[in-house]
Structure 1
Amino acid sequence: MLKHSLLLILTVFLFLPLQSWAQIQIGGDDVKIDFANPQEYEIGGLTVSGIQHLDANALKAISGLRVGDRINVPGDEISDAINQLWKQGILSDIKIVATNIQGNLIFLDLQLTERPRLTKFSFKGVSKTEADNLRDNISLVTGKIITDNLKQVTKAKIVDFFIEKGYLNAEVSIEEKDDEKMVNGKWFVITVDKKNKIKINDIIVHGNTEFEEKKLLKSMKGTKEKKFYRLFSTSKFLESEYTVDKKSLITKYNTLGFRDAHIVKDSIYAFDDKTINIEITVDEGDKYYFRNITWVGNTKYSSDQLSTILNIKRGEVYNESRLESALYMNPTGRDVTSLYMDDGYLFFQITPVEILVEGDSIDIEMRLLEGKQARVNKVTVVGNTKTSDKVIMREIRTQPGQLFSRADIIRTQRELAQLNLFNPEAMGVNPTPNPQDGTVDIEYVVEERPSDQVELSGGYGANQLVGTLGLTFSNFSTRKMFTEGGSAWNPLPSGDGQLLSLRAQSNGRFFTSYNLSFTEPWLGGKKPHSFTFSTYRSRQNQNGREKDDPLLSEIVIFGSSVGIGFRLKKPDDFFSVYGQIGYQLYKLQNFNNTFLFSDGTANNLSLTGTLQRNSIDAPLYPTRGSQFSMSFQTTLPWSQWFDGKTDYAELEPEDRYKWIEYHKWKFNSKWFMNLSSPKAERKFVLSARAEFGFLGLFNQDIGQSPFERFYVGGDGLSGFSLDGREIIALRGYENQSLTPTNSNGSRIGGTVYNKYTLELRYPFSTNPTATIYGLTFLEGGNSWLDFNDYTPFNIKRSAGFGVRIFLPMFGLLGLDYGYGYDDILNNANANKGQVHFSIGQSF
């Protein structure tokens, strides 16, 4: 047995020329090994040295060497082991050393040096925001083994990051520095030289004879030339956008009959150090037209019926996009596939085949496979972690046993979105057909989102600053309030889709107001009959005196209402009707502001009926659909029914208005139209609105009610109001500046108003946790004291722009700038540009 270590560096063997002898040192003696005659050894032991973080057993396994294996020294087994270890990319140096030889037993040690590990990294040449975004983008983590590949991938990701921002010539370097606090640790200093942001100077199109270059370039939405008038579109060059836009350019040709159009070549070259030019050469090809369209395989519907749905006439320009839209899944539902699928034909298939191209004409044969009608088997819901199953299931239109209907699925998704409890972007439907028995299982996928809201705001009314705190619970559950053990209070019982709202306003001792409202959308749980109860109490102390002070000046208002709503089936089930009875009591003591009398009481008992239709596709950012509502609110004609003798013209105001009487009519309509492609992720939407309100009287001797009038102009925030007035927002003008005044110049409210609004909206984010969209608007409206003076188009006009942000905890927040085009009598500054802040409304 050898008493000293035998050091045999086997890796050297791989690189030495074949020679008869090599020298190895054993103690002080020289031993000659015959490399021309490899010897076979059995591995008697295998150890690993030099590692700090890696697993020794794993490294042994990777090497492929095992104790008991027989190997040749020198031989392929050693070189194979080195190669296997090196391929892992985690080692910077590898030696396989013989520590001892006993007869035919050889003892090996894997002497390894780990690659350094990353301990931290920093950036130079970028802003803090860019550095934060880069950290998320490059996915560097401490403890990662540093390899050449790691550095190259990191550089590439950083370069791509800045290319997407228009810095096409960005350069990145990575410097490694030793970390004194960690053995074999290094940190990166990543230096970025962004250079100039590259924009597009000019886009030149060659080969276009049918269309002007300007018309073609409009189809390239993300690749635009640098022009001074482009305020809202970028001219930076993005490779990803350019690739999409080249396809869009060809699609533009295809929609106009040039189905063979293609890009022959394109080139990008520097114009100067800040801009580039793009040249695109197209081959337009010939223009084609539809000729004969025939139907094969249809038994359910006649060829004439299908041709009517298709709505493509002989001689029309060939347009593949239009053809596909008429055959498959048109968003409006007017297509051939929807016609079949809405009648249960889940397995329906249609294939358009060009059977003849002759000259500039194309004949198409529509080949149908109708299949059998499918019925719904099981309906399930997944993803609702908070909302009860019954809340979702009662909105689902696809019921077991019914014929499958695509329209019912789309309507179900719309109804679930209207609940405002789920993320509309994450909603999904997974139909699982069962062709054997002609049924289909439908699984609806939802994702809960925060729906409760907190309102924290300040307003100004009656020459006082008023603070507001409001809490709205959109998914409340009274059923779970009394759950045994209180397990449902986390922090509040929820999941049944009920609405509970609590609101308080105050400015200290001078004004307080408390509101509570509750809505059960499905009273009894069987039908969509809603029940609503609300109550409030407010008190304004005008001079700050105590309650028992005879000079106290105050008004106390108590109000309560109960309403019930029904969803109708005719004319369609987008209609609903709502009825409400409400009561307000006004108690005044030495209160000489706003009202026509300072002492006494007034009672307002009214009935309200509302007919409305709502078909919008989403509550936060509607892209299509409409909302209409007509309401009629009335008191009883107390003076005529119960007292036909009193001369009300001679009564004092406190007696004349002891029981308030009026009738009030309102109409409100909204339309939403998508202006973008159905496939676009972010859609331009045009919104048009019209409003009208009228307040009538029963008794000419009493005159118009001083309550329930319309106050028009400004941001629509009420601060607080004491007389049931309606605050109508109209941007571009001061608050209530379009409201009629009396001879003293005090605003007394209008008895009739109308308003028109046109908005163009664009979403910056449709994420339900932060929905953000910008808008521009044209608006006009006015109010009148007497209906005889009402002129529908004698309006005060304005225009402007704004932004809306929806945060789940705070609701809809808005900021607008509007400029009024028309002067206001006796108020020269009312229309000179106004900034408006809004909460919980969209104007």
Structure 2
Amino acid sequence: PNYEDGTVDINWDLAQKSNDQIEFSLGWGQTGVIGRIGLKLNNFSMRNLFNKNKEHRGIMPVGDGETLSIGAQTNGSYYQSYNASYSTNWFGGKRPIQFSISAYYSKQTDVSDNYYNSSYMNNYYNYLYGYSSYNSYNSYTNYYDPDKYVKLLGMSVGWGKRLRWPDDYFTLSLQLAYQRYMLKNWEYFLMTDGSANNLNLTIALNRTSTDNQLFPRRGSEFEASVTLTPPWSAWDHKDYKNLATNPLSSTYEDEMQEKYRWVEYNKWKFKSRTYTALSGGQKCFVLMTRVEMGILGSYNKYKKSPFETYYVGGDGMSGYSTGYAEETIGLRGYENGSLTPYGYEGYAYDRFTLELRYPFLLGNTTIYGLTFLEGGNAWHKVSDFNPFEMKRSAGVGVRIYLPMVGLMGIDWGYGFDKVFGTKGGSQFHFILGQEF
């Protein structure tokens, strides 16, 4: 003990325990092989990678609590994605400074024009208008068109530091990211051909005071962030007011490529969760509340970003969809992306949740049930944002955490309100991974 500063040195003998995760799924559908594979090492050591010592056992070195993750996903010929990331909470080994680096690539393709002239579609339209039966089987693999695609290549570098003011629960983080979008004959977007670049910086202030990562009973999580690109239109001397305004013009596509060669926007988000135990003890009911909202703004009203919009509705999991470069926001009780269909992309959104949880099993393997009330919405125009104009839902669900797999779950939700004239109704949602 040090009586002068009132501190005591304590030595703990720790035994390392593996908590790495392996993910593997495989199936078959109309588009071909469907699957996902992933490996997440939660106690990786970059420092010991080339050192043959007691901490380097087997293939990978361990001991520094760093995270190394690699993964791949496929939906047959129509969608593939690959990602890799590395992060540490003690960059340099002396201070609690966070550092991360990641890279990813995805490709999504489309069906050929022959698909819409096929006997399958003819039978479908005949059935739709009452002319004949509709019982033909169609394989998308027969109409795969490699000349229709959208590709996304990205990388990022992040830095974070724990703050001492206002208290020790605050962290400040910065992330510099770059994405390149490559399109060819892609008919689901206002720009069908060409490439676009997105260079941005994200500044985030976070406060986390929860008592448990898997099943919090007390505490809260708050995050306020802003993502900024350079205001390219402020100095490139282009007349965006009269650029790419006539879709019938022979130069329209070329003008679109010129307009979005460098994407610009400012994106503001706020997210919060609170946890309140309704009784004492380890196994108790816990009330979770969530409030979040986001706005995608522009520097130049004639150069609104078509990228980084909000894709709202459903399970909130990213993956195969007709859109791209979107941020996926879940809203249970409604179909994926149903609140932001093509032509009504989300430039503002909000979501409110009231969730009651109860744990059935705690420990390395955690299982808990939940029931929820949820509401939210999305708007194509930021000026139309109204937090009281909500699409409401309610439902039940279960979450299972397995050390080698991670967090999984299933929710059943019922949407009470119409979305673009379509009733909500009953929806099942499958959940993979932790969400904040």
Question: What is the TM-score when the length of structure 2 is the normalising length?
Answer: 0.84
Deviations 1:289-331 (A, max 9, x none): xxxxxxxxxxxxxxxxxxxxxxxxxxxxxxxxxxxxxxxxxxx
> Is 1:671 equivalent to 2:274 in the alignment?
yes
Preserved contact between residue 756 and residue 780 of structure 1 (Cα < 8 Å): yes
Preserved contact between residue 32 and residue 76 of structure 2 (Cα < 8 Å): no
> Is 1:707 equivalent to 2:307 in the alignment?
yes
| SS, match of residue 48 in structure 2 | helix
Q: Which amino acid aligns with 2:277?
A: N
The residue number in structure 1 matching 2:210 is 616
Provide structure 1 residue ranges, at least 5 long, that are not aligned to the other structure. 1-343, 345-371, 387-447, 545-549
| SS, match of residue 525 in structure 1 | coil
The residue number in structure 1 matching 2:248 is none
> Is 1:603 equivalent to 2:197 in the alignment?
yes
Preserved contact between residue 55 and residue 62 of structure 2 (Cα < 8 Å): no
The list of structure 1 runs, each at least 4 consecutive aligned residues, that deviate by more than 4 angstroms after superposition, is 372-376, 457-466
| SS, match of residue 833 in structure 1 | strand
The residue number in structure 2 matching 1:479 is 47
Superposed, which structure 2 residues align to 1:123-142 within 5 Å? none
2:262 to 645, 655, 659: 659
Preserved contact between residue 109 and residue 146 of structure 2 (Cα < 8 Å): no
Preserved contact between residue 539 and residue 556 of structure 1 (Cα < 8 Å): yes
> Is 1:808 equivalent to 2:403 in the alignment?
yes
Distance in 1 between residues matched to 2:419 and 2:223, nearest whole Å? 31
Distance in 1 between residues matched to 2:428 and 2:110, nearest whole Å? 30
> Is 1:650 equivalent to 2:281 in the alignment?
no
The residue number in structure 1 matching 2:118 is none
Deviation at 1:551, TM superposition (A): 7.7
Deviations 1:759-807 (A, max 9, x none): 1111111121x10111111110000001121111110111111111100
Deviations 1:412-439 (A, max 9, x none): xxxxxxxxxxxxxxxxxxxxxxxxxxxx
> Is 1:686 equivalent to 2:287 in the alignment?
yes
| SS, match of residue 523 in structure 1 | coil
Q: Which amino acid aligns with 2:291?
A: A
Aligned-residue Cα RMSD (Å) equals: 2.7
1:638 to 228, 232, 235: 232
Superposed, which structure 2 residues align to 1:494-533 within 5 Å? 494-533=62-101
The residue number in structure 1 matching 2:149 is 554
The residue number in structure 2 matching 1:735 is 336
| SS, match of residue 560 in structure 1 | strand
Deviation at 1:618, TM superposition (A): 0.7
Q: Which amino acid aligns with 1:581?
A: L
Preserved contact between residue 554 and residue 589 of structure 1 (Cα < 8 Å): yes
Q: Which amino acid aligns with 1:675?
A: L
Deviations 1:254-285 (A, max 9, x none): xxxxxxxxxxxxxxxxxxxxxxxxxxxxxxxx
The residue number in structure 2 matching 1:405 is none
Distance in 1 between residues matched to 2:28 and 2:372, nearest whole Å? 26
Distance in 2 between residues matched to 1:795 and 1:497, nearest whole Å? 42
Q: Which amino acid aligns with 2:176?
A: I
CA distance 1:551–1:758, change in 2 (3 Å): closer
Q: Which amino acid aligns with 2:429?
A: H
Distance in 2 between residues matched to 1:376 and 1:485, nearest whole Å? 33
More strand by share: 2
Preserved contact between residue 481 and residue 489 of structure 1 (Cα < 8 Å): no
Distance in 2 between residues matched to 1:841 and 1:827, nearest whole Å? 30
The residue number in structure 2 matching 1:629 is 223
Deviation at 1:374, TM superposition (A): 10
Deviation at 1:606, TM superposition (A): 0.5
Distance in 1 between residues matched to 2:294 and 2:28, nearest whole Å? 25
Kindly indicate whether structure 1 or structure 2 has the higher relative contact order, using CA contacts under 8 Å at least 6 residues apart.
Answer: 2
| SS, match of residue 147 in structure 2 | coil
The residue number in structure 2 matching 1:353 is none
The residue number in structure 2 matching 1:836 is 429
Deviation at 1:724, TM superposition (A): 2.1
Deviation at 1:645, TM superposition (A): 4.0
Preserved contact between residue 31 and residue 78 of structure 2 (Cα < 8 Å): no
The residue number in structure 2 matching 1:590 is 185
Distance in 1 between residues matched to 2:149 and 2:435, nearest whole Å? 34
Deviations 1:511-531 (A, max 9, x none): 321101100211111111111
| SS, match of residue 334 in structure 2 | coil
The residue number in structure 1 matching 2:60 is 492
Distance in 1 between residues matched to 2:31 and 2:204, nearest whole Å? 35
Deviation at 1:813, TM superposition (A): 0.7
Distance in 2 between residues matched to 1:474 and 1:464, nearest whole Å? 33
Preserved contact between residue 625 and residue 671 of structure 1 (Cα < 8 Å): yes
Distance in 1 between residues matched to 2:316 and 2:105, nearest whole Å? 22
Distance in 2 between residues matched to 1:485 and 1:475, nearest whole Å? 16
CA distance 1:376–1:636, change in 2 (3 Å): closer
Preserved contact between residue 37 and residue 73 of structure 2 (Cα < 8 Å): yes
Deviation at 1:823, TM superposition (A): 2.1
Superposed, which structure 2 residues align to 1:186-225 within 5 Å? none
Preserved contact between residue 55 and residue 63 of structure 2 (Cα < 8 Å): no
Superposed, which structure 2 residues align to 1:759-770 within 5 Å? 759-768=355-364, 770=365
Distance in 1 between residues matched to 2:435 and 2:81, nearest whole Å? 24
The structure number with the bigger radius of gyration is 1
Provide structure 2 residue ranges, at least 5 long, that are not aligned to the other structure. 113-144, 245-254
Deviation at 1:555, TM superposition (A): 2.5
Preserved contact between residue 556 and residue 588 of structure 1 (Cα < 8 Å): yes
Distance in 1 between residues matched to 2:316 and 2:28, nearest whole Å? 12
CA distance 1:647–1:711, change in 2 (3 Å): closer
CA distance 1:796–1:689, change in 2 (3 Å): same
Distance in 1 between residues matched to 2:408 and 2:58, nearest whole Å? 28
CA distance 1:795–1:689, change in 2 (3 Å): same
Q: Which amino acid aligns with 1:749?
A: E
| SS, match of residue 12 in structure 2 | strand
Identity %: 46
2:351 to 736, 755, 758: 755
| SS, match of residue 395 in structure 2 | strand
Distance in 2 between residues matched to 1:765 and 1:620, nearest whole Å? 11
1:381 to 12, 26, 30: 12
Preserved contact between residue 772 and residue 805 of structure 1 (Cα < 8 Å): yes
Preserved contact between residue 79 and residue 320 of structure 2 (Cα < 8 Å): no
Deviation at 1:538, TM superposition (A): 1.7
Deviation at 1:707, TM superposition (A): 0.7
Preserved contact between residue 466 and residue 719 of structure 1 (Cα < 8 Å): no
Distance in 1 between residues matched to 2:153 and 2:259, nearest whole Å? 20
The residue number in structure 2 matching 1:697 is 298
Preserved contact between residue 461 and residue 720 of structure 1 (Cα < 8 Å): no
Deviation at 1:509, TM superposition (A): 3.4
Deviation at 1:818, TM superposition (A): 1.0
| SS, match of residue 531 in structure 1 | strand
Preserved contact between residue 110 and residue 146 of structure 2 (Cα < 8 Å): no
1:455 to 23, 29, 42: 23
Q: Which amino acid aligns with 1:572?
A: D
Deviation at 1:660, TM superposition (A): 0.6
Distance in 1 between residues matched to 2:52 and 2:368, nearest whole Å? 45
Preserved contact between residue 476 and residue 498 of structure 1 (Cα < 8 Å): yes
The residue number in structure 2 matching 1:790 is 385
Superposed, which structure 2 residues align to 1:388-427 within 5 Å? none
CA distance 1:773–1:487, change in 2 (3 Å): closer
Deviation at 1:376, TM superposition (A): 4.3
The residue number in structure 1 matching 2:138 is none
Q: Which amino acid aligns with 1:603?
A: N
The residue number in structure 1 matching 2:326 is 725
